[in-house]
Structure 1
Amino acid sequence: MTLVKFANGQKNHGVNPFFSDVFDSILNDSFLSDKLASRVPAVNISETENQFHIELAVPGLKKEDFKISLDKNVLSVSADKKTENVEEGKKFSKREYSYNSFTRSFTLPEVADAAKIEAEYVDGILKLNVAKKEEAKIQTREIAVK
């Protein structure tokens, strides 16, 4: 039997503790993690009897910032936004520019009706509704017993 010793929450990388603390602070910096996490918006995809619903969390944009395209059965959603924070009348040693862009692509199933896709942007959520073809909708009927 082999015994394995765990650190129980303590960081022990076998290296000088100073180096592990420096690398942990660089890699876990909230600025870096926020920038990396915000590159691709979170998506919720659901399905009802008549439609597929795709919701993207993209706050801070305008509906004019979005480009939605369909190429064969691939639905692509992209956005580009450039922000400048500039105050006139003062001498600045620093100006902040922000460029945000993303692209998300979704492969639509065969049952999706490409002619009936609607998009709406409300309260930071981009909602896409993709209708299903008539033959793909679940049809219910009562069957009589003979």
Structure 2
Amino acid sequence: MSLVKFKRGPMENFLVSDFFNTDDFFDNRLLNKEMNAPALNIKETKEAFEVELAAPGFEKKDFDVTIDEGCLKISAESSKSAEEKDDNYTRKEFSYSSFEKKLQLPDSVKEEDVKANYKDGVLRFNLAKKEEAKIHKPKKVEIA
């Protein structure tokens, strides 16, 4: 008698693996719009928070940015299509991409003083801090 290793199909291994949680996969990856959202960097300075969001392939008009109840919502939608006709064939191409990203802003941000610009595929925000939240240098206190 010889032992033969059981071979499973590619999808069966994928779904039955001990290291794969199907509930987690379907809940967080296929249904979560933020999985498609571009990467972002947040840097804090003395005066503001600087946010950079990498979104190449979009144009300025594709973005919709709102601030509502302390939440910065960034969304973008872009679609392109091209068609080429010849006597023997027709070639059509199209693409569609979108994302949505929400950031809860700290209370220290002045919502009325948020600035944004888009250049070279990077959307940049400058989120100014309220005066009382700005980082100040330590003050030496003399003891009497």
TM-score exceeds 0.5? yes
- Asked whether the 8 Å contact 2:54–2:122 carries over to 1, the reply is yes
1:20 aligns with 2:18: no
Identity among equivalent pairs (%): 34
- Asked whether the 8 Å contact 1:39–1:100 carries over to 2, the reply is no
- Please list, as runs of the form range in 1=range in 2, the aligned pairs for 1:110-121 lying within 5 A after superposition: 110-121=107-118
Q: 1:117 to 1:97 in 2, by over 3 A?
A: same
1:101 to 88, 98, 102: 98
Q: How far is the alpha carbon of 1:88 from its aligned partner?
A: 3.9
**CA distances 1:90-111 after superposition (whole Å, capped 9, x unpaired):** 522x522211111100000111
**CA distances 1:48-80 after superposition (whole Å, capped 9, x unpaired):** 111111111100111111110011101000111
2:50 to 44, 48, 53: 53
DSSP-derived class of the 2:36 partner: coil
1:125 to 115, 118, 122: 122
Q: How far is the alpha carbon of 1:37 from its aligned partner?
A: 10
- Asked whether the 8 Å contact 2:73–2:101 carries over to 1, the reply is yes
In structure 1, list runs of 5 or more residues that go unmatched. 1-13, 25-35
Letter paired with 1:98: S
The residue aligned with 2:69 is 72
TM-score, scaled relative to structure 2: 0.72
Q: How far is the alpha carbon of 1:118 from its aligned partner?
A: 0.6
Number of equivalenced pairs:
120
Q: 1:115 to 1:55 in 2, by over 3 A?
A: same
CA distance in 2, matches of 1:76, 1:15: 50
1:144 aligns with 2:134: no
Q: How far is the alpha carbon of 1:22 from its aligned partner?
A: 9.2
CA distance in 2, matches of 1:70, 1:77: 9
TM-score, scaled relative to structure 1: 0.71
The residue aligned with 1:62 is 59
DSSP-derived class of the 2:61 partner: helix
1:135 aligns with 2:132: yes
The structure with the greater share of residues assigned to strand is 2
DSSP-derived class of the 1:64 partner: helix
CA distance in 1, matches of 2:118, 2:124: 6
